[in-house]
A = this chain, B = another copy of it.
Amino acid sequence: MDKILRIDMGAEGGPRMTEAPLGDYAGMGGRALTSAVVSKEVPPLCHPLGTDNRLVIAPGLLSGTTGAMSGRLSIGAKSPLTGGIKESNSGGQAAQVLARLGYAAIILEGKPRADELYVVFINKDGVKISLAPSLKLLPNYELVEKLKSEYGESIACISIGPAGEMKMSAASIACTDMELRPTRHAGRGGLGAVMGSKGVKAIVLDDTGMKMRTPKDPEKFKEANKVFVQGLRSHAVTGQALPAYGTNVLTNIINEAGGYPTYNFKDGRFDGAHKISGETQAETETARGGLATHGCHRGCVIRCSGIYNDKDGHFLTKQPEYETVWAHGGHCGISDLDTIARLDFMDDNYGLDTIEMGVAIGVAMDAGIIRFGDGEGAINLMKEVGRGTPLGRILGNGAAVTGKVFGVERVPVVKGQGLPAYDPRAVKGIGVTYATSTMGADHTAGYAVATNILKVGGDVDPLSAQGQIELSRNLQIATAAVDSTGMCLFIAFALLDQPETFQSLIDMLNAFHGLSMTGDDVTALGKSILKMERDFNARAGFTAAQDRLPAFFKEEAIAPHNVTFDIPDEELDQVFNW
């Protein structure tokens, strides 16, 4: 994992690839690497769909090793959704396979002159780029079946659906899971549209004949990994809650806390929450012969995913995540799990961010396009997106565009990106992250819900303005670092509560790479990433004015706690003032 593959999709005579050592980017992985490349190589004012943008696909520092949880793939570019820098990461198999193939990153550059579609295939023998007109507008599931028939069953795929080809700003990039299904997505920020603009339909990876990456100090690495896994298994969130109910364990918790945004952020609790909770979901999955606990990549010990079958016991979709269940569920007043599962499948199949689509549909409901609670209506809207009708293209370009086109005033976005499943008025720490993250509204950028609600890593009152800035700051720094390791962010629950688990991660990094990093170095790494990202955004024209929630969060109090978002702007401006 010491080289970068660059493919210039706009080269004369067709795509031209070059391979080179990491060079300036030595020692970087995951988000550190994607953000460094974007920050250094992409002109901040370029068009996100233009020739000057670059799509950077990077496994983490520990991807492709025997280390547990190291299956995250970071993908970065200038975002068509936010106009700023973007790193979105995905589970599935691709990170590990790409790392074992020896690549620290694939960088797609330029864009084809004509409307051409390519597949990139990488195995132990090298890289092959082929024109693939027959794959045009194929949805992800059908696409992967075709790729399997052509490239065999030992592959991992990184692909876009029709949404990415149609360059929608809510388009995701799919990664296949252990069952070779396109269920894991780098969802946020419209990176699928960037891949679409590069004319790449899929990157197919086969690591047959390649070895696990070997640590500098195998014994120490093995030992550290053991401590690390024990730590994950012993923590209540990663050892019990997530395995049992998946991320959707949060529906009841957040609803109870009054921070469950309902009817496009008009209420903090949803009547139908119990019908779509993780508990109900797990029960349904088990009863129908699906799976209530399942990993998305080999080496996962948390196993927060699952398999959601339909009433007849046929696969319908992977277990929808909490944020998906919220976006397509409570946010839209929909309380039918099967409907939500169908919407989740459509998102994966068309290649769309479930959060952005759910938020956009909720905004469309506020505009009166369909009524709140209309599940079949939501499915029909999604079909429009898949077909690329004008209405579908509006929705497929996200909540901000939907709000603008339909003249809606209450549009829950920051930097153009839809707010996820936690109301910033009732969970103020996450509100600080939404407002200030370089990524636009993003719960994963600094998951203050952990400390506000789950009481992980301390206890900061979610309803008070006190302590939220520091909380969000520290979490944003730590997250940027974790996002560089290839580790699933869910390890953070154990890291925050258990110093020995945090130390074991550092030990793994040190043993693998022959380093002598300390906790302070991890903090320094996180800060350096955020600094690069902030710098890119500043050059792209972002100021403190973009580090704000929409005004209605300050003005409209939300039930049941009757709270507004009351953290002063001046305090928000201190998040990165460390």
A contacts, CB < 8 Å to B:
43-47, 49-50, 52, 80, 166-169, 193, 196-197, 389-391, 393-394, 397, 401, 404-407, 409, 411, 538-546, 548, 550-552
Number of copies of this kind of chain in the complex: 2
Q: Which residue of chain B has the shortest Cβ distance to A406 in the bound complex?
A: B393
**Contact at B52–A551, with CB atoms within 8 Å?**
yes
Give chain B residues whose Cβ lies under 8 Å from the Cβ of A397. Answer: 404-405
Beyond the given A50-B551, A394-B394, A401-B401, please list 8 additional residue pairs across the A-B interface where CB-CB is below 8 A: A45-B548, A50-B409, A52-B551, A80-B404, A397-B404, A397-B405, A541-B544, A541-B545
Q: Which residue of chain B has the shortest Cβ distance to A397 in the bound complex?
A: B405
**Contact at A43–B166, with CB atoms within 8 Å?**
no
**Contact at A43–B541, with CB atoms within 8 Å?**
no
Max chain B CB contacts within 10 Å: which of A44, A45, A540?
A45
Question: Among B43, B389, B390, B391, which residue has its beta carbon within 8 angstroms of that of A551?
Answer: B43
Question: Among B47, B196, B401, which residue has its beta carbon within 8 angstroms of that of A550?
Answer: B47
Give chain B residues whose Cβ lies under 8 Å from the Cβ of A406. Answer: 393
Give chain B residues whose Cβ lies under 8 Å from the Cβ of A49. Answer: 407, 409
Max chain B CB contacts within 10 Å: which of A44, A407, A540, A541?
A407
**Contact at A546–B551, with CB atoms within 8 Å?**
no
18 residue pairs from A and B, CB less than 8 Å apart: A47-B409, A50-B551, A80-B404, A166-B407, A167-B407, A168-B407, A193-B407, A197-B407, A197-B409, A390-B391, A393-B406, A394-B405, A397-B404, A538-B543, A541-B542, A541-B543, A542-B543, A543-B543
Q: Which residue of chain B has the shortest Cβ distance to A537 in the bound complex?
A: B545
Max chain B CB contacts within 10 Å: which of A166, A406, A411, A542?
A406
**Contact at B407–A545, with CB atoms within 8 Å?**
no
**Contact at B409–A393, with CB atoms within 8 Å?**
no
Q: From residue A104, how far is it (CB to closest CB) to chain B in Å? A: 29
**Contact at A401–B405, with CB atoms within 8 Å?**
yes
How far is it, in angstroms, between the C-alpha of A404 and the C-alpha of B540 when the chains are bound? Answer: 17
How far is it, in angstroms, between the C-alpha of A538 and the C-alpha of B401 when the chains are bound? Answer: 23
How far is it, in angstroms, between the C-alpha of A404 and the C-alpha of B48 when the chains are bound? Answer: 10
How far is it, in angstroms, between the C-alpha of A401 and the C-alpha of B405 when the chains are bound? Answer: 8
How far is it, in angstroms, between the C-alpha of A540 and the C-alpha of B544 when the chains are bound? Answer: 9
Q: Which residue of chain B has the shortest Cβ distance to A569 in the bound complex?
A: B45
How far is it, in angstroms, between the C-alpha of A151 and the C-alpha of B550 when the chains are bound? Answer: 42
Question: Among B45, B394, B407, which residue has its beta carbon within 8 angstroms of that of A390?
Answer: B394
The answer to whether A551 and B407 touch (CB under 8 A), given A390-B391, A543-B541, is no
The answer to whether A404 and B407 touch (CB under 8 A), given A541-B545, A543-B543, is no
How far is it, in angstroms, between the C-alpha of A178 and the C-alpha of B80 when the chains are bound? Answer: 47
Q: Which residue of chain B has the shortest Cβ distance to A369 in the bound complex?
A: B390
How far is it, in angstroms, between the C-alpha of A333 and the C-alpha of B246 when the chains are bound? Answer: 56
**Contact at A45–B541, with CB atoms within 8 Å?**
no
Q: From residue A389, how far is it (CB to closest CB) to chain B in Å? A: 7
Give chain B residues whose Cβ lies under 8 Å from the Cβ of A169. Answer: 404
The answer to whether A551 and B46 touch (CB under 8 A), given A543-B543, A545-B540, is yes
Q: Which residue of chain B has the shortest Cβ distance to A545 in the bound complex?
A: B541
How far is it, in angstroms, between the C-alpha of A542 and the C-alpha of B540 when the chains are bound? Answer: 11
How far is it, in angstroms, between the C-alpha of A466 and the C-alpha of B539 when the chains are bound? Answer: 26
The answer to whether A539 and B550 touch (CB under 8 A), given A169-B404, A193-B407, is no
Q: Which residue of chain B has the shortest Cβ distance to A43 in the bound complex?
A: B551
Give chain B residues whose Cβ lies under 8 Å from the Cβ of A80. Answer: 404
Q: From residue A111, how far is it (CB to closest CB) to chain B in Å? A: 9
The answer to whether A405 and B407 touch (CB under 8 A), given A44-B545, A391-B390, A545-B539, is no
Q: From residue A223, how far is it (CB to closest CB) to chain B in Å? A: 50
Give chain B residues whose Cβ lies under 8 Å from the Cβ of A407. Answer: 49, 166-168, 193, 196-197
How far is it, in angstroms, between the C-alpha of A544 and the C-alpha of B540 when the chains are bound? Answer: 9
How far is it, in angstroms, between the C-alpha of A450 and the C-alpha of B80 when the chains are bound? Answer: 37
How far is it, in angstroms, between the C-alpha of A190 and the C-alpha of B193 when the chains are bound? Answer: 28
The answer to whether A45 and B545 touch (CB under 8 A), given A389-B390, A551-B52, is yes
Give chain B residues whose Cβ lies under 8 Å from the Cβ of A409. Answer: 47, 49-50, 197
Q: From residue A48, how far is it (CB to closest CB) to chain B in Å? A: 9
How far is it, in angstroms, between the C-alpha of A409 and the C-alpha of B407 when the chains are bound? Answer: 24
Q: Which residue of chain B has the shortest Cβ distance to A541 in the bound complex?
A: B545
Q: Which residue of chain B has the shortest Cβ distance to A47 in the bound complex?
A: B409
Give chain B residues whose Cβ lies under 8 Å from the Cβ of A548. Answer: 45
Q: Which residue of chain B has the shortest Cβ distance to A540 in the bound complex?
A: B545
Q: Which residue of chain B has the shortest Cβ distance to A543 in the bound complex?
A: B541
How far is it, in angstroms, between the C-alpha of A545 and the C-alpha of B541 when the chains are bound? Answer: 5
Give chain B residues whose Cβ lies under 8 Å from the Cβ of A542. Answer: 541, 543
Give chain B residues whose Cβ lies under 8 Å from the Cβ of A389. Answer: 390
How far is it, in angstroms, between the C-alpha of A112 and the C-alpha of B349 when the chains are bound? Answer: 42
Give chain B residues whose Cβ lies under 8 Å from the Cβ of A167. Answer: 407
Q: From residue A46, how far is it (CB to closest CB) to chain B in Å? A: 6
Q: From residue A58, how far is it (CB to closest CB) to chain B in Å? A: 25
Q: From residue A358, how far is it (CB to closest CB) to chain B in Å? A: 19
Q: From residue A84, how far is it (CB to closest CB) to chain B in Å? A: 11
Give chain B residues whose Cβ lies under 8 Å from the Cβ of A393. Answer: 394, 405-406
Give chain B residues whose Cβ lies under 8 Å from the Cβ of A546. Answer: 541
